[in-house]
A and B are shown apart, each in its own frame.
Chain A
Amino acid sequence: AQSVAQPEDQVNVAEGNPLTVKCTYSVSGNPYLFWYVQYPNRGLQFLLKYITGDNLVKGSYGFEAEFNKSQTSFHLKKPSALVSDSALYFCAVRDKEGFQKLVFGTGTRLLVSP
């Protein structure tokens, strides 16, 4: 069965500092991996995805994520955090065969302080 773990309920970072939101996954085959962001009173917004190829994926709003197959991780990163990045971030995985549904993690709240 597929699963996603986001080990941190909350990440605190000062504005201007780099940020990392962690995600590890488990699938039986090869994964498709996604990051979504949710702002208050809004739905989830797609940030980026890893399908194949380059392990470093660039997405919206300056975010990027690095796929590490040996560590089964897909951590979300940004070189310089903004206060407006404060939101709830979800990692999701689906196996490439597509027979299983998209599985989401429990979310990590990012709080960027001025």
Chain B
Amino acid sequence: ETGVTQTPRHLVMGMTNKKSLKCEQHLGHNAMYWYKQSAKKPLELMFVYNFKEQTENNSVPSRFSPECPNSSHLFLHLHTLQPEDSALYLCASSQDDRANQPQHFGDGTRLSIL
């Protein structure tokens, strides 16, 4: 599926680096999400944006900083990350954040912290 595009697909960074993950959706959706996927754990919702407004921050450490400049783009700014932050970061979108709307996912960014 090419409706939600994430870049880069892979990222290796040191703990002192600053990098950003990018997500773009071409589905005309109004809600966008960041999830963290770690092995053997359920998907962890990090942030939700609905019509460009942040509606949920799921107790995410401040070293992760989201940005949603418009309904089609979502960024996750990273700084001073820890080794336990290594994971697959998934972006998703939906028509809006109502409960009955399925979410459409990108292929993720595999993040490795050295």
- Residues of A at the B interface (CB closer than 8 Å) are 4, 32, 34, 36, 41-46, 49, 51, 90, 94-98, 101-107
- From the candidates A41, A42, A49, A104, name the one contacting B42 in the complex (CB within 8 A): A104
- From the candidates B40, B48, B97, B108, name the one contacting A43 in the complex (CB within 8 A): B108
Q: List 15 A-B contacts (CB under 8 A).
A: A41-B107, A42-B107, A43-B1, A43-B92, A43-B105, A43-B106, A44-B90, A44-B105, A46-B102, A51-B100, A90-B43, A101-B58, A104-B42, A104-B43, A105-B42
Number of A-B contacts (CB under 8 A): 54
CA of A8 to CA of B92, assembled, Å:
26
Name the A residues within 8 Å of B85 (CB-CB): none
Q: Are A101 and B45 in contact (CB under 8 A)?
A: yes
Name the A residues within 8 Å of B98 (CB-CB): 98
CA of A106 to CA of B98, assembled, Å:
23
> What does DSSP make chain B's interface, helix, strand, loop or mixed?
loop
Q: Are B40 and A106 in contact (CB under 8 A)?
A: yes
Q: Are B42 and A106 in contact (CB under 8 A)?
A: yes
CA of A69 to CA of B57, assembled, Å:
31
- B107 CB to closest chain A CB, in angstroms? 5
Check B103 for interface membership: any CB of A closer than 8 A. yes
**Which B81-102 residues have C-beta < 8 A from chain A?**
90, 92, 97-100, 102
- Residues of B at the A interface (CB closer than 8 Å) are 1, 4, 6, 40-43, 45, 48, 56, 58, 90, 92, 97-100, 102-108
Q: Are B48 and A101 in contact (CB under 8 A)?
A: yes
CA of A104 to CA of B54, assembled, Å:
21
CA of A104 to CA of B43, assembled, Å:
6
Q: Are A106 and B102 in contact (CB under 8 A)?
A: no
- Indicate the member of A49, A94, A102 with the most B CB atoms within 10 Å: A102
Q: Are B43 and A46 in contact (CB under 8 A)?
A: no
CA of A31 to CA of B107, assembled, Å:
27
CA of A36 to CA of B42, assembled, Å:
13
CA of A107 to CA of B39, assembled, Å:
10
